[in-house]
Structure 1
Amino acid sequence: MFTEAIEAILQDQFTPAAIRAIEAGADPATAWNALADAGFLELLAAEDAGGAGLSLSDLFPIFVAIGHHAVPVPLAQSIAARALLARTGTAAPAGMITLAQSCRPEPDGTLVCAYTPFGAIADFTLAGTADGLLLLDCRAAERIGTGVHGSQSATLRWLPGHIATPLPGATSADVQAWGAALHAALIAGAAARVGAMTLQYCQDRSQFGKSIGKYQAIQHQLAVMTEHIAAATVAAELAFGTNGTQPQRLTAALAKARSSEAAQLVAASAHGLHGAIGVTEEYDLQLLTRRLHDWRTAHGSEACWSVQVGEALLASEAGTVEFVRKATRMEEQSGAW
């Protein structure tokens, strides 16, 4: 029910033209207010607190839909941030909240959150430290864009007087697990749409008197792309299969490692099969493939998370098969995980 309802709003508010406009600097307030007024920011909050009381497994298809529509506002991040803030007993502020993927104090007391997803437009950033969460007002920060076309990520810098006191109840590990899990789901949604667009193009495009999709070499590339999309989707779903409102670190690591690996391969295959039209500004494919590359590195790429999965395996007393069996059954791991 919730997925269908939010799909309707996303389809209405975030057309390709609207996405391009917001990326170019248009005010996203109208679209954002439509989501906020419908109550979609509190999907994980308990019903007696005015929320929908959804489980993480219920939330997964909604995050996939957000990726499918290339939503240019931090909707998934805001939902996660509100769940994290609830654990600290802090009311979430009105507006767009994003999750910082890093938080670094400098010698002069300046706080830096580098390459923050949606840092260019977010109202607030939730950053994790070992002592708790920092809720930071982006309007008091210096925003430094990435310089990448259409990117809404930015490095944020706060002077000492604008840094809040950490909120106990959650830590940087919780923020990173959420960031990995939600971006895995976004990648799964965007990759599925890229795959559908590519398949349709191959069916419509004719060469030498027949559809290029009928050539065996093209079919092979489509099949490999489909395999990666399916693997990314299954891996992402693992991260949302736990109880409560916090993804487990190991399943989040597995999800992000596999989905990030798939992101670059799906994007490359899509552009290869589309040919020259795929890289043009007017064609919608680039709205999705740019995000696949952006989301691949957000909160750690496959290189980052694969190392952490490997370290967890080496620290485990179980053999490889048993480790994989437990991990894919989403059983909580001991130790640092």
Structure 2
Amino acid sequence: MPAGPLTLVPPAGCAGLALVDGLLEGVATGVPWPAQVGHALLPLSQGLALVTLEGCVIEAGRNLAGEPRDSVRFHRHRPVAVLPDASADALLLRGALMRSVQICAAAEQALKLAIGYTTTRVQFGKPLASFQAVQHQIAGAASKLAAARILLDAAYDALASGDAGREIAAARINACLAGGECASVAHQVHGAMGYAWEYDLHRHTSAIQAWRAEFGPLTYWAERLGAQAMAAPSVDLWQFITS
């Protein structure tokens, strides 16, 4: 591997690329931080291609969180290496797991802001956090986040020991659900304050929404996990669900 940072391009961003006679042609979209790194790892039908970004045309773009998600144009570009035994699905799984960790971290920060705001904001003569309805909202979001973290730990344990497709799918689904719930509750208890640009909440909730869309949205992982469950032998279905 080359020295220095490289970027991982989600498989969906490589749909416009083709490797013909050993040369890369086309446009990769949604590439994270290409102007700040020297190399990229691209999942192609022939395997994973390691390419240098020197000499490529980069068109600037942003995701919902304001992070660089650029388009990179390749013309007769020879990869540094092509790893035929490495699969695009392996990169997709690891990318989804990575984004799920980030979603949970952002959700935690959103909840911390929500708790801090509701304990200091006084309405009807007492803090918002003293109202049971507000407590229920925050507690419900926190419980979903705790469950997502447990599944993330299980996914990392499974990845260290071998095949982790089922565990990563479950962790990804729950991270997306928990992140969405935490973002929704945090904005609801903040009211108009949560939408102020000068206030930090939008930095976390915008990131949650942006990262939920990368390396496969929630619906993709739900369908994938459901297909795995349907393919499992009926005698093992309960174990599949509970293990």
Q: Which bin holds the TM-score, normalised by the shorter protein?
A: 0.7 to 0.9
1:123 aligns with 2:38: yes
Give the alignment partner of residue 201 of structure 1, picking from 111, 117, 132.
Answer: 117
State whether residues 185 and 237 of structure 1, in contact with CA within 8 Å, keep that contact through their aligned partners in structure 2. no
Separation in structure 2 between the aligned mates of residue 221 and residue 157 of structure 1, nearest angstrom:
46
What's the secondary structure of 1:240's corresponding residue?
A: helix
Q: Counterpart of 1:135 in structure 2: which amino acid?
A: L
Give the alignment partner of residue 48 of structure 2, picking from 133, 142, 149.
Answer: 133
Deviations 1:101-158 (A, max 9, x none): 1222457963333223334544322122343211122342423403646222223332
Q: Counterpart of 1:221 in structure 2: which amino acid?
A: Q
Distance 1:235 1:143, change over 3 A: farther
Q: Which runs of 5+ in 1 are unaligned?
A: 1-90, 327-337
1:324 aligns with 2:241: yes
Separation in structure 2 between the aligned mates of residue 312 and residue 149 of structure 1, nearest angstrom:
33
Identical-residue share of aligned pairs (%)? 26
Q: Counterpart of 2:91 in structure 1: which amino acid?
A: V
Separation in structure 1 between the aligned mates of residue 98 and residue 214 of structure 2, nearest angstrom:
10
Distance 1:130 1:251, change over 3 A: farther
Partner of 1:112: 27
Separation in structure 2 between the aligned mates of residue 264 and residue 120 of structure 1, nearest angstrom:
30
Partner of 1:250: 166
Separation in structure 2 between the aligned mates of residue 241 and residue 199 of structure 1, nearest angstrom:
31
Deviations 1:280-337 (A, max 9, x none): 22212222111111111110111111110011111111443211234xxxxxxxxxxx
Higher strand share: 2
Q: Counterpart of 2:157 in structure 1: which amino acid?
A: G
Partner of 1:100: 9
Q: Counterpart of 1:325 in structure 2: which amino acid?
A: T
State whether residues 113 and 156 of structure 1, in contact with CA within 8 Å, keep that contact through their aligned partners in structure 2. yes
Q: Counterpart of 1:302 in structure 2: which amino acid?
A: L
Quote the RMSD (CA, aligned, Å).
2.4
Deviations 1:229-269 (A, max 9, x none): 11221222221012648772221111111111222221121
Give the structure-1-normalised TM-score: 0.63
Separation in structure 2 between the aligned mates of residue 246 and residue 196 of structure 1, nearest angstrom:
35
Separation in structure 1 between the aligned mates of residue 205 and residue 148 of structure 2, nearest angstrom:
15
Separation in structure 2 between the aligned mates of residue 149 and residue 185 of structure 1, nearest angstrom:
16
Separation in structure 2 between the aligned mates of residue 223 and residue 195 of structure 1, nearest angstrom:
10
State whether residues 65 and 203 of structure 2, in contact with CA within 8 Å, keep that contact through their aligned partners in structure 1. no
Give the structure-2-normalised TM-score: 0.86
Partner of 1:181: 97
Deviations 1:191-216 (A, max 9, x none): 11211221111111111110000111
Separation in structure 2 between the aligned mates of residue 222 and residue 275 of structure 1, nearest angstrom:
14
1:296 aligns with 2:212: yes
What's the secondary structure of 2:67's corresponding residue?
A: coil
| Higher CA-based Rg | 2
Distance 1:202 1:158, change over 3 A: same
Q: Which runs of 5+ in 2 are unaligned?
A: none
Q: Counterpart of 2:211 in structure 1: which amino acid?
A: W
Q: Counterpart of 1:307 in structure 2: which amino acid?
A: E
Separation in structure 2 between the aligned mates of residue 149 and residue 178 of structure 1, nearest angstrom:
21
Aligned residues: 235
What's the secondary structure of 1:115's corresponding residue?
A: strand
Give the alignment partner of residue 158 of structure 1, picking from 74, 88, 91.
Answer: 74
Give the alignment partner of residue 266 of structure 1, picking from 182, 188, 203.
Answer: 182
Give the alignment partner of residue 282 of structure 1, picking from 174, 191, 198.
Answer: 198
Higher relative contact order (CA 8 A, sep 6+): 2
Which deviates the most, 210-219 or 93-102? 93-102
Separation in structure 2 between the aligned mates of residue 138 and residue 268 of structure 1, nearest angstrom:
38
Partner of 2:128: 212
